[in-house]
Amino acid sequence: MDFMRILKYLHYHIFSRHKRGHGIHSPFVFDLVSRVFRNKTDPEVVLMIERIRKELLCDKRTIRVLDLGSGSALMKSDLRRISDIAKYTSVPAKYGVLLANLAAEFGRQGIVEFGTSLGISTMYMASAYRDSRVFTMEGCPEISTVASDNFRRAGFGNITLMTGSFDDLLPKVKSKVSYPGLVFIDGNHRKEPVLRYFSEMVEVSGNKTVIVIDDIHSSDEMEEAWNEIKANENVSFTIDLYRMGLVFFRKGMSRFDYVIRY
């Protein structure tokens, strides 16, 4: 973590509040923080997914990565070990559990993910409600093959994995899932694409849709994107968890940008 990111995290740590929901005046947000954020995901599911992560972290196979996003600051070569991809691009277990809890609460109408990577976040979301369909997009064919194998081994039959550029795949995804309950935008950490994908999802978002943006403070570009998203006229309120930003479209709720410790 560079010096500026350390300062940003310290600022978040000092000014974030309401870890247990105390002091939040909105009943909806209080319930979200105190119940959903703190809910326990099935430990057997967590163990299964984390076992796959552990295997990936030990996988020394090298694959050629076609990076259609912003690229990796830590992995410059297009030849990368699966172990390094697992180490640097997969969401930590703590946030995987959060995604599972959000999927259980909001994802029954369908889930859309931008950036499958090796499939850790996908499996967490798919585990929450097996009757819900997860549509996940990955730009790199070789990474997609590894993720597909992980889904097969874990027994997830409710995941539809699509390979190609997000821009090419989006029309197909939007035709398959109207008013998704949960959207997770990852895989391209540049301002313009993030804002474009967000706008595309706003078009098909309903009152109960939640959009999650990953790595909102990872760069100046991402912070600019996050600030523009917060100012979007369709947004009712947002929650900043430092790593992730949550966006809600609930009609009739007071406009507010929460910074909550997670």
**Does the pTM exceed 0.85?**
yes
161 has which bridge partners? 136
Asked if 232 contacts 260 with a C-beta cutoff of 8 angstroms, the reply is no
User: Which pLDDT score is estimated for 67?
Assistant: 75
Q: Is the dihedral of CA 32, 243, 128, 204 positive or negative?
A: positive
Q: Mean pLDDT for the chain?
A: 90
User: Which pLDDT score is estimated for 71?
Assistant: 47
pLDDT by residue (tens digit) across 65-84?
987 655 444 555 789 999 99
Ordered by start, the domain boundaries in the chain are 3-41+91-259
User: Which pLDDT score is estimated for 129?
Assistant: 84
pLDDT under 70: residue ranges of the chain = 1-6, 9-11, 13-23, 68-76
Using alpha carbons, select from 188, 211, 208 the residue that is nearest to residue 198. 211
Sheet order of strands, 244-248 included: 159-163, 134-138, 111-114, 182-185, 210-214, 244-248, 237-240, 256-259
Identify the CATH class of 3-41+91-259: alpha beta
d(CA 105, CA 93): 18
d(CA 38, CA 23): 16
User: Which pLDDT score is estimated for 4?
Assistant: 66
With a CB cutoff of 8 Å and minimum separation 6, the contacts of 171 are none
User: Which pLDDT score is estimated for 75?
Assistant: 52
Residue 96 identity: G
